Structure 1
Amino acid sequence: MKFKCYKSLSVFLFSRITIVTILISVSTYVHSGPIVRDLNITVVHGYMSSPDDHWFPWLRNELQDRGITTEVLSLPNPSVPNPEEWQETLSDQLGKIDSNSIVVAHSLGCIATLNYLNSLKKEKYIAGLVLVSGFISNIPNLPQLDGFTQTDLDFSKLILAAGKIIVIGSPQDSIVPFYLTEELADQLQATIVSIPDSGHFLASDGFRKFPQLLTVIDNILKNELVEK
């Protein structure tokens, strides 16, 4: 009789502890958003752009409201970009990224980021890499950017550099042909998200906000929460 009582009491206490643990975990997730550890996000803009353009300020504000440290880098001379100058800046600004980091890059910022990761003697592992309208080959109508695509990329190294790689593009991109973005995704063995009628994801294409990108980032964060 006593054994049955003790057994019932143990089951009851175990159940209560389990429920409390779950409630604490859920409340922490809801309170702080899908945040894992001390995650930080860095945004790398593209050609003829700045931290205040397009969807960059919106994304920064959305993420910071969730308690995620977010920075949009300012790269030198974006109207006449120099690959070496951009690499120096990225080396200074991205040197601090680690397994708690997600990097979001747009257009020319994609190949610049890949060139930086490729140049590292010691592999750097980050939680996620999101490339919007990216490319790794010359753009037919923009020969002035060819200097960024002359690096021999080690794709096996880059594939291992991030826990998750997502490539976003639009078949109606009039600046970076969609087949170049598909090539990028293929070489990185990345998941590609195709968003029709979105152009180059510029403010002039209606992208002062970018909720689809925020969803992609949320999914990376949720995966990190489950895996960790």
Structure 2
Amino acid sequence: MAPLRVLILHGWQGSGPEHWQTWLAGRLEDAGAHVQYPRLPDCDVPCPDRWGAALHRELRALSRGEGERVVIAHSLGCVLWLREAAEVRPAQRVDRVVLVAPPCPGAAVPELAKFYPTGADKAAIDAASKSTRLVCSDDDEYCPGRGAAEHWGAPLELSVDLLPGAGHLNVEAGYGPWPAMEAWALGETDSLACEASPVA
């Protein structure tokens, strides 16, 4: 059986060594998966066009091998996916995507503003991946007001796992090791709502 092929997309300023994405990359590699975990260009002052070009390079590389193709994005990496979904070629369509804690327009971070509007719609999301899941909290400082479930999940008709009180689902919120995400990546569970708490 061909190994799992995974592309991990970090957010603004990257994901450091204690972040669940970095932990997950190591765990998946240990399990025999092909893992792409690029540092996107100028991640402190991100440019949508440069990030978009980097994403499509990574998708071309991901599509070169056999096996299930999975994209795991956090924060601004989710917004990047939403922006670029319409440009994903049929040959590079992936099997599963999980979008964790996408920020919303209106977050008080000037570096994020140029990534909006995304132009995302359900048809583009469905064309880019067979399945797309949103994982978010009800108190994310980067998605004030309605929250990600309502801002992104409802209009795009995404499957949503809402994790109460989980903040931005980053290191500060306690998300270093995250076994539920590992299980989802490996195809062992469909939902991250159950047993979603990270290791203390």
TM range (shorter): 0.7 to 0.9
Of residues 170, 175, 180, the one that matches 1:212 is 180
Q: Following superposition of structure 1 onto structure 2, how do residues 172-211 of structure 1 map, counting pairs within 5 Å? A: 172-177=139-144, 179-182=146-149, 183-211=151-179
CA distance in structure 1 between the partners assigned to 2:14 and 2:123 by the alignment: 30
CA positional deviation for 1:117: 2.4
> Could you say which structure has the higher helix fraction?
1
Return the alpha-carbon distance in structure 1 between the equivalents of residues 28 and 89 of structure 2.
31
* Residues 52-88 of structure 1 deviation map (CA, whole Å, 9 limit, x = unaligned): 4511221012111211111212111111111111112
Query: 2: CA distance between counterparts of 1:53 and 1:113?
Result: 23
3-state DSSP class of the match of 1:160?
A: helix
Task: Indicate the larger mover: 82-91 or 118-127.
Answer: 118-127
Q: Are 1:60 and 2:25 matched, yes or no?
A: yes
Mapping of residues 108-127 of structure 1, within 5 Å: 108-120=76-88, 122=90, 124-127=92-95
- Alignment RMSD: 2.4
Cα deviation, residue 141, structure 1: 1.4
User: What secondary structure does 1:175 align onto?
Assistant: coil
Number of equivalent positions? 186
Q: How far has the Cα of 1:177 moved from its partner? A: 3.2
Structure-2 change in CA distance of 1:160 and 1:180 (3 Å): farther
Partner of 2:9: 44
Percentage identity across aligned positions? 24
Q: Note if contact 1:44-1:73 (Cα within 8 Å) is conserved in structure 2.
A: yes
Deviation string, structure 1 residues 87-142 (Cα, Å, up to 9, x no partner)? 1211222223347210000010001122222224657421100000014x513312
The answer to whether 1:149 aligns with 2:149 is no
Larger radius of gyration: 1
- Structure 2: unaligned runs, 5 residues or longer: 191-200
Q: Deviations over 1:179-219 (max 9, x none)?
A: 3411212233221111122211111221111222223324x
Alpha-carbon separation, structure 1, partners of 2:24 and 2:145: 23
- Per-residue deviation, residues 141-197 of structure 1 (Å, max 9, x unmatched): 124312112342242121232222111011122222373411212233221111122
Code of the residue aligned with 1:145 in structure 2: it is: L
Q: Identify the match of residue 107 of structure 1 among 50, 75, 81.
A: 75
Matched residues in 1 for 2:107 and 2:30: separation?
Answer: 40
Whether 1:90 aligns to 2:55 is yes
